[in-house]
């Protein structure tokens, strides 16, 4: 590991000022950044610790929540308001990692973890994320875990976060601050698809800091869940995951629905096509299957990951059937 300096920011302005030096990076819980530093992939000359900044969960006047970026994943998952109003978020966080990692990880850090695969860690492999323009060995290599939606010839890795999948389904907004001032961004727009520049993973500007995430008040979110399909029951990335919420009106028709997918794309994937096909329909397995097929119609498979298409369809149907039965 190369030498680096460390400082602890007392407020966002100080953090933004300190990270302006060349080679500096923000440090949250460090569950991803420190790992990448050990591997020699990230080589910051300075770490600016932001874990002492906003870490509260505040009730908004409209019934939504403002979540400080330094809030631990454990604290967020355990919050009574989150558990009752946005149960899919609690389920996603608990499915994401061990209790020890959840205790360390922060909300802002979870949003900023690198999109990566095994080839990203292998310095003997070609990886456009690690070395832009080098190529992608995953495309013709072992690609069972890789993307079926939104990929490009430059990168087929999948975004690893579970929490972000739920936040995208919940229409979360990210609050940012930086050298050019404060701004907000829909969380769905925070992460980028790879295109020709997979090394650019987010829409953050240089030096910008995530200070908070806001959840709007959503009636539909109270009947929601998260299901993660993986190779083992703990500490494994998703093969496919589904965050979904369903509201059925008194007339028996779907009034509102939210669906997002994980494990299938280089960013948390909002299933807009499926949602459009579901609204105004009477809930049934046939309707859910039709919606899942519409969403996966654009899937592009590699040699080893074609099973994900059917797995994603079946998981969408299973989750929506579960929620429809509750309705």
Q: Give 235's pLDDT tier (boundaries 50, 70, 90).
A: confident
Determine what percent of the chain falls in helix, strand and coil, rounding each to the nearest 5. 30, 20, 45
Cα–Cα distance for residue pair 67/226, rounded to 1 Å: 20
Give the C-alpha distances (Å, rounded to integers) separating 156 from 135, 194, 239, 272.
11, 8, 14, 21
Q: Give 309's pLDDT tier (boundaries 50, 70, 90).
A: very high
Q: How many CB atoms lie within 10 A of CB 59?
A: 10
- Which ranges of the chain would DSSP assign to H, the alpha helix? 12-18, 33-38, 73-78, 80-85, 87-96, 99-104, 107-112, 118-121, 163-169, 272-278, 285-295, 307-326
Task: Check residue 106 and give its pLDDT.
Answer: 97
Residue 327 has pLDDT above 60, yes or no: no
Task: Check residue 234 and give its pLDDT.
Answer: 81
CA geometry: angle at 147 spanning 145 and 148, to 5°? 120
Residue whose tokens read 């600016």: 48
Residue 210 has pLDDT above 80, yes or no: yes
The reported pTM is 0.96
Percentage of the chain exceeding pLDDT 70: 99
Which secondary structure element, helix H or strand E, spans residue 23, and what is its range? none
Task: Check residue 325 and give its pLDDT.
Answer: 75
Cα–Cα distance for residue pair 18/149, rounded to 1 Å: 38
Return the closest-CA partner of residue 27 out of 3, 2, 45: 45
258 against 325, higher pLDDT: 258
Give the C-alpha distances (Å, rounded to integers) separating 287 from 148, 223, 253, 258, 319.
23, 19, 11, 15, 13
Task: Check residue 165 and give its pLDDT.
Answer: 98
Task: Check residue 215 and give its pLDDT.
Answer: 98
Task: Check residue 1 and give its pLDDT.
Answer: 60
In tens, the pLDDT along 106-143 reads 999 999 999 999 999 999 999 999 999 999 999 999 99
Q: Give 288's pLDDT tier (boundaries 50, 70, 90).
A: very high
Average of per-residue pLDDT across 217-245? 95
Q: In a 3-state reduction of DSSP, which class is residue 107? A: helix
Instruction: Average the pLDDT over each of 33-42, 212-221, 314-323 and give the range with the smallest value.
Output: 33-42
Domains identified in the chain and CATH numbers: 5-51 (3.30.43.10), 222-326 (3.30.390.50)
Residue 219 has pLDDT above 60, yes or no: yes
In tens, the pLDDT along 51-110 reads 999 999 999 999 999 999 999 999 999 999 999 999 999 999 999 988 899 999 999 999
In tens, the pLDDT along 168-195 reads 999 999 999 999 999 999 999 999 999 9
Cβ distance 141 to 119 under 8 Å?
A: yes
Q: Give 2's pLDDT tier (boundaries 50, 70, 90).
A: confident
Q: Give 326's pLDDT tier (boundaries 50, 70, 90).
A: low
On average, the pLDDT of the chain sits at 96
């Amino acid at each position: 590991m190369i030498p680096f300096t460390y400082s602890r920011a007392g407020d966002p302005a100080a953090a933004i000022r300190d990270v302006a030096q060349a080679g500096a990076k923000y440090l949250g819980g460090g569950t991803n950044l420190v790992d990448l530093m050990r591997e020699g992939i990230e080589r910051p000359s300075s770490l600016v610790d932001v874990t002492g900044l906003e870490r509260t969960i505040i009730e908004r006047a409209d019934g939504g929540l403002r979540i400080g970026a330094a809030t631990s994943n454990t604290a967020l998952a355990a919050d009574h308001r989150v558990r009752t109003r946005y149960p899919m978020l609690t389920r996603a966080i608990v499915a994401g990692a061990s209790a020890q990692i959840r205790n360390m990880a922060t909300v802002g850090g979870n949003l900023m973890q690198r999109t990566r695969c095994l080839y990203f860690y292998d310095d003997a492999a070609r990886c456009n994320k690690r070395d832009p323009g080098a190529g992608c060995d995953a495309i013709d290599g072992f690609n069972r875990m890789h993307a079926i939606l939104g990929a490009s010839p430059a990168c087929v890795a999948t975004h690893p976060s579970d929490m972000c999948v739920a936040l995208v389904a919940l229409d979360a907004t990210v609050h940012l601050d930086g050298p050019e001032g404060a701004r907000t961004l829909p969380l769905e727009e925070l992460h980028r698809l790879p295109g020709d520049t997979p090394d650019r993973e987010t829409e953050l500007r240089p030096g910008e800091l995530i200070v908070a995430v806001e959840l709007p008040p959503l009636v539909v979110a109270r009947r929601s869940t998260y299901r993660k399909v993986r190779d083992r029951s703990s500490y494994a990335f998703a093969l496919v995951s589904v965050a979904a919420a369903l509201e059925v009106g008194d007339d028996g028709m779907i009034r509102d629905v939210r669906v997002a997918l994980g494990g299938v794309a280089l960013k948390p994937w909002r299933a807009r096509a499926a949602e459009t096909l579901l609204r105004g329909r009477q809930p049934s397995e046939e309707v859910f299957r039709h919606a899942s097929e519409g969403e996966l119609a654009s899937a592009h498979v590699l040699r080893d990951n074609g099973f994900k298409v059917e797995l994603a369809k079946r998981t969408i149907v299973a989750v929506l059937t579960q929620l429809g039965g509750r309705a």
